[in-house]
């Protein structure tokens, strides 16, 4: 299942995460891996603390950063898919919302 603008995502609440110098560092004890997120990715991580529609993430990023929809689709959708692949977030079905 690929991530689309209508997808609803939420981060895995069991992960250990901390902010260090404006970046979020996530520790996944199940896979013994960690991820360090840049400031924009950290903003997205924060938004995923509760189920969030991708279109809402795009809207928030467009307001907070000077970025257009095409750039968001090109850069953010693969990042969100990467979070799911690494089991840092999960995609909820269309019936789930915030």
Residue 19 within a domain: yes
Residue 73 within a domain: yes
Angle between helices 54-64 and 69-85 (to 10 degrees): 130
How do residues 25-59 score in pLDDT, each as one tens digit? 999 888 888 899 999 999 999 999 999 999 999 99
Residue 94 within a domain: no
Q: What is the pLDDT of residue 37?
A: 95
What total of structural domains would you count in the chain?
Answer: 1
E strand or H helix at 41, and its extent?
helix 39-47
Residue 43 within a domain: yes
In which region does residue 83 sit, left (phi positive, over 0), alpha (psi from -120 to 50) or beta (all else)?
alpha
Residue 3 within a domain: no
Residue 69 within a domain: yes
Residue 98 within a domain: no
Tell me the whole-structure pTM to 2 decimals: 0.86
Residue 21 within a domain: yes
Report CA dihedral (7, 93, 28, 62) to the nearest 10 degrees: 20
Range of the domain at 58: 8-88
Q: State how far the Cα of 9 lies from the Cα of 66, in Å rounded to an integer.
A: 23
């Amino acid at each position: 299942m690929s991530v689309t603008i209508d997808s609803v995502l939420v981060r895995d609440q069991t992960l250990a995460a901390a902010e260090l110098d404006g970046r979020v560092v996530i520790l996944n004890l199940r896979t013994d891996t960690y991820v360090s997120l840049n400031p924009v990715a950290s903003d997205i991580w924060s938004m995923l603390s509760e189920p969030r529609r991708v279109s809402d993430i795009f809207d928030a990023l467009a307001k907070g950063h000077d970025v257009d929809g095409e750039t968001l689709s090109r850069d953010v959708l693969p990042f969100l898919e990467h979070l799911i692949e690494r089991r840092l977030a999960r995609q909820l079905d269309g019936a789930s919302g915030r």
